[in-house]
């Protein structure tokens, strides 16, 4: 059998593999059949050693194994990274690492990703991410492709959804804690589920827990044709409340009416405070759901009846100007700035909230209006359109 002698001089000039051979301290290798097969003599005894032709092939495989153990390969997928706060242009489409799931974790291959205004808040720096750079996105539906050791209750092939923390949905695959996902019924399309989970659970806690809407209540919904607004109108109508909604265009007005909005106000052409006063015969509304913020906040307070609830859950036009606490006193108003994360703190709360949303979708009580779909690689265009109020209903990103 032919033999090959490798000296340090040739090891130093023969590329990455040779450098690996040169740097390894072979004397520390345990004696085993593989080592005996590779080396023709003890490398600790000489500055050169012989390899058979077969030994060279085995050495390559062995060193590749050593290299893998030294620096474990991580799977690369495409995703979005943000390195600085700013406009849509800071959303960078690039390769991102995704590791293997640990105990209690799963790896999910995303089928559809929901776009939400909170993503814009994080991109602009209104809300601060835990670290920079970061991958945005707080809503997705996908297939489980790997399961951490010892995990029960989830298996490869399951279709699951998540909404809320952690961020990271803007990627082809992601690692998630198994207790943060919920199963998606086979009767619901993944694109529909991705478009409705975060918005639907937001509508659920706003209507059912933050202020419990019931028959006979009158409510005001700003941005009534938006992703959350559309669901609020549908759900509140099913609860037999009187729904007043504000919109910006005739097209959005038509959609809001279809979604169960009994009175539609074109806020660009009408003073919504005066119109609400007319519609309610001066009594005001029981609750205002305001996701607009700066442009509508003070007017929203003026629309409330005595002991009414002001629910400020967004700020698409900017943060509201501060008001003195005494402004609430004349009508004994309630003011809250709620977040879904605090209403779904426990696993039981998450399952109850998501379960009610998915059950209402299945029953046809609420329906997602997936009016816009973008490739994930074009998420910057989607952000610009949402921020400029060009979109209506839900926006979904497709990996």
pLDDT digits (tens, 9 = 90+) for 355-377: 999 999 999 999 998 999 999 99
Closest CA to 170 of 130, 86, 114: 114
CB atoms within 10 A of CB 1: 6
Check residue 265 and give its pLDDT: 98
Angle between helices 15-23 and 53-70 (to 10 degrees): 80
State residue 393's pLDDT score.
84
Give tens-digit pLDDT for 315-343.
999 999 999 999 999 999 999 999 999 99
Q: Domain 211-337 sits in which CATH superfamily?
A: NAD(P)-binding Rossmann-like Domain (3.40.50.720)
CA nearest to 171, candidates 82, 59, 249, 52: 82
Q: Given 2.30.40.10, 3.30.1440.10, 3.40.50.2300, 3.90.180.10, which CATH number is that of 76-197+381-397?
A: 3.90.180.10
Rounded to an integer, what is the distance from CA 229 to the centroid of its chain? 19
- pLDDT at residue number 73: 57
State the Cα–Cα distance between residues 244 and 58, nearest whole angstrom: 75
Round to whole Å and give the CA distance between 354 and 181: 10
Name the pTM for this structure: 0.77
**Which residues, in sequence order, are CB contacts of 130 under 8 Å at separation 6+?**
none
Q: Please tell me the total number of residues recorded for the chain in this structure.
A: 399
Domain boundaries, the chain: 76-197+381-397, 211-337
> What integer pLDDT is reported at residue 174 of this predicted model?
97
- pLDDT value, residue 152: 81
pLDDT of residue 75: 86
> Any residues with CB less than 8 A from the CB of 285 and at least 6 apart, and which?
218, 219, 220, 244, 276, 303, 304, 305, 308
Residue numbers in the chain where pLDDT is lower than 70: 1-73
Whole-angstrom CA distances from 261 to 169, 192, 253, 280 are: 32, 22, 9, 15
C-alpha distances in Å from residue 88, one per residue of 85, 332, 370, 372, 380? 9, 41, 21, 17, 5
289 contacts 269 by C-beta, under 8 angstroms: no
């Amino acid at each position: 059998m032919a033999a090959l002698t490798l000296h340090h001089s040739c090891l130093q000039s023969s590329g990455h593999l040779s450098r690996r051979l040169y740097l390894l301290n072979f004397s520390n290798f345990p004696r085993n059949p593989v080592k005996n097969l590779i080396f023709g003599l003890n490398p600790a005894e000489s500055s050169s050693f012989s390899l058979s032709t077969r030994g060279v092939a085995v050495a390559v495989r062995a060193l590749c194994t050593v290299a893998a153990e030294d620096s474990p390969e991580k799977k690369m997928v495409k995703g979005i990274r943000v390195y600085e706060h700013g406009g849509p242009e800071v959303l960078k489409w690039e390769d991102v690492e995704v590791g293997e799931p640990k105990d209690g974790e799963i790896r999910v291959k995303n089928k559809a990703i929901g776009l939400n205004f909170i993503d814009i808040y994080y991109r602009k720096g209104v809300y601060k991410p835990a670290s920079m750079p970061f991958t945005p996105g707080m809503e997705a539906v996908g297939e489980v492709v790997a399961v951490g050791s010892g995990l029960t209750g989830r298996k490869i092939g399951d279709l699951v959804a998540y909404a809320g923390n952690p961020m990271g949905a803007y990627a082809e695959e992601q690692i998630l804690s198994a207790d943060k996902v919920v199963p998606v019924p086979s009767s619901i399309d993944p694109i529909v589920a991705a478009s409705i989970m975060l918005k639907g659970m937001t509508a659920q806690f706003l209507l059912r827990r933050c202020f419990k809407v019931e028959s006979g209540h009158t409510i005001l919904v700003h941005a009534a044709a938006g992703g959350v607004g559309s669901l609020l109108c549908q759900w509140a109508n099913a609860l037999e409340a009187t729904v007043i909604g504000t919109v910006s265009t005739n097209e959005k007005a038509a959609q809001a009416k279809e979604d169960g909005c009994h009175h539609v106000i074109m806020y660009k052409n009408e003073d919504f405070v005066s119109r609400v006063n007319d519609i309610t015969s001066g009594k005001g509304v029981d609750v205002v759901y305001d996701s607009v913020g700066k442009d509508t906040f003070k007017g929203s307070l003026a629309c409330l009846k005595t002991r009414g609830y002001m629910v400020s859950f967004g700020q698409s036009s900017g943060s509201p100007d501060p008001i003195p606490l005494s402004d609430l006193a004349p009508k004994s108003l309630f003011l809250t700035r709620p977040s879904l994360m605090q209403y779904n703190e426990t696993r039981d709360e998450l399952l109850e909230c998501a379960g009610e949303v998915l059950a209402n979708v299945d029953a046809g009580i609420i329906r997602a209006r997936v009016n816009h779909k973008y490739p994930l690689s074009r998420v910057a265009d989607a952000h610009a359109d949402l921020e400029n109020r060009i979109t209506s209903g839900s926006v979904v990103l497709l990996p």
